[in-house]
Structure 1
Amino acid sequence: MSKKIYVENDYDGLYGRFWESLGELSRDREEFLNHPKQFDLVCFTGGEDVSPELYGHKNLGSHCSSARDKREVTVFEMASKHEIPMTGICRGSQFLNVMCGGTMVQHLRQDHGGYRHGMLAADNRVMEVTSSHHQMSVLAKGGTLLGRAEQLLPLKALVYDGDLEKALAESGNLWDGRAMVTEAFAYPKQRIFAVQHHPEWQDIDEEAAQWTLDMIARICWEQETRQRTLDEIMDVFGCVPLYSRRE
C-alpha cells in the first residue's frame, strides 16, 4: 500500500516533487489536521528563519514569520500527538530540531550557502550537496548527527545566544576547536530525520538525494525503530552516527 505524505507549505513545488517519490502527496493542511491518522509522513519545507523565541533565545538577526511558526507548530503538535513520522529540508530541519528541544546558531558569518560542497555522512561517504542557509542546528538530547559539511568553521564565524563552545561540545559539533556545520540529523525515538541541504535541487538520481530518501524510509518507517537502542538502529542503517546526544 502506498504511503500518504503531507507537505506543509510547498511554495515552489520542488519539495513535493522530491517527496512524492516516497508515496501519495497532499498539500491540504485542513485534510491533514482533520484526518491525521491517514498520513504516514509529515514534511516541512524551507524559508524564513525559525523564531528564536521558540527556543528561548534573543533575536540576534534572524528573519522570521511568526504566522508561519504558529501554523507549523500546530501541524507538528498534531503529528506528534498521533505519532506520525516527520522530515524536513533547510528551515524545515531547523524547525524540527527546535521543536525537539534544540537551538540554533543564528548566523554563520563565513559564507556557507548557495553553493555545492561536500557532506561527510555517517556511513563515511562524502557526497556533493547544495546548501543555502546562514543558520545551523544545535541538537538537543536524543538527537543524532548524521551528516556535516566538510568545511570546518572558526567559532568566531558563528553568532549564538549563549555559551557557544559548550553548546557545540554537547551537540557534537565541536572538532579541534572549530565548528562542524550540521547537514543531516535524526531524532530516532520521534522518528524524525531531516537535512539542512537541498536534495530537491538535485537530480533525483544523485547520490545525496537518494541517500536522503533512503534515510527517511529507514528512520521514519523502519519497524519498531523507537523500541531499539541507538546502537541497534545505527547497525540497521549500516552507519555510525558522527555524534549522538544520549538521553
Structure 2
Amino acid sequence: MDRRPFIGVSTYLVDASWSDWRDRPVALVPDRYTAYVRNSGGIAVLLPPDAPERAPEVLARLDALVIAGGPDLDPAYYGQPRHPRTEVDSPERDVWEAALIRAALAAGIPLLGICRGMQVLNVVCGGTLLQHLPDVVSPDVHGGSPGKYGEHAVRPVPGTLLGGLLPESELTVPTFHHQAVDRLGDGLRVSAHAPDGTIEAVEGPGFTLGVQWHPEQGEDLRVMQALVRAATAARTMPLEAVEAMGAVVLG
C-alpha cells in the first residue's frame, strides 16, 4: 500500500508559556492546520525556519508544501515603505518561506499558500501587496475581529484549477486578513475574487495555489484533498536531483 504523502507546513516563531516556562521562543502552528492535513489524507510535517540554502534539501524529503498564515511580510521585499498598520516581526520566517516557495516552484512540488502564504507566493513571483485593505475597500469584511475569524463570499473563476475544485459560482469562507494581492506576480493568474473585487486566490504552473482565506478553519476539505492527491501522484524528486539545482535564497 502506498504511504500517505508527507505535507510540510511552515510554522510561526513566537514567545509562548506553558507549565513552569514563561515567554520561551517556540516554533508552532495552530492545530487546525495539522488537522486539515491529517483529515485530508496526508501527514503533516512542521517546518521551523532554517537556513534558506537548505530549502531544496528539505523539500526533497517531502511530497507537498503548505505555507501557513501569520504576520505580515516585510514590504521591503516588494519595494515599499512600511504602512503604519503593517506588522512585521518574523524576518527569519520571511526569508525561510520565500526560499521554500522558490525551491517548490523550481522542483514542481505541489504548493498551497494560505493567507500570508498566498501573499508570500505572489511577492516571490515579483508581485506586490496592498498593505492595508480597509484603505481601499469599504466596508471591510475581510478582517474578522480580534481572536475571531470572519466570513465573506468568494467567487472562483471558471476554467481555473480552483474553479475545478470549487465549482460553485459563490461560496462562503472563513477569513482574517488586512492585506491582499495588488500587482499580480509573474506566471500567476487570478482564480477567485471577493464580491468587492479583492483577489482571493492565485495559481501557477502544476499544482501551485494560493488562497487568501483560511480553509483550515472550516469543514470544507476539497482544497487540501486536492493537494494530497497531487502530492501522491507527483511524489518528491530524488534528493540528488534537487541538490543539483543549487541553493535557493530570497533575492
Picking from 204, 210, 221, the partner of 2:221 is: 210
Name structure 2 gaps, 5 residues minimum: 12-27, 145-149, 158-166, 235-251
Aligned to 1:11: 29
* Displaced runs of 4 or more, over 4 A: 28-35, 217-223
Name structure 1 gaps, 5 residues minimum: 153-179, 204-208, 224-247
Picking from 116, 133, 137, the partner of 2:177 is: 133
Aligned to 1:63: 87
Deviates more, 1:23-32 or 1:135-144: 23-32
TM-score, normalization by structure 1: 0.67
1: CA distance, partners of 2:111 / 2:79: 23
- The within-5 A match list for 1:66-85 is 66-85=91-110
> How far apart are residue 44 of structure 1 and its match?
0.8
Alpha carbons of structure 1 residues 131 and 218: separation in structure 2 relative to 1, 3 Å: same
Q: Deviations over 1:66-109 (max 9, x none)?
A: 22212222333443443322111111111111111111011112
Amino acid of the structure 2 residue aligned with 1:17: A
2: CA distance, partners of 1:217 / 1:125: 24
Local SS of the residue matching 1:27: strand
Aligned to 1:113: 143
By relative contact order (CA 8 Å, sep 6+), the higher-ranking structure is: 2
- The within-5 A match list for 1:1-247 is 1=2, 2-9=4-11, 10-20=28-38, 21-29=40-48, 34-61=57-84, 62-64=86-88, 65-109=90-134, 110=138, 111=140, 112-114=142-144, 115-122=150-157, 123-138=167-182, 139-150=184-195, 152=196, 180-188=197-205, 191-203=207-219, 209-213=220-224, 216=227
Q: Relative to total residues, which structure has the larger helix share, 1 or 2?
A: 1
Give the count of matched residue pairs. 189
Q: Percent identity?
A: 30
Q: Deviations over 1:165-194 (max 9, x none)?
A: xxxxxxxxxxxxxxx1111120125x3101
Q: CA RMSD in A?
A: 2.6
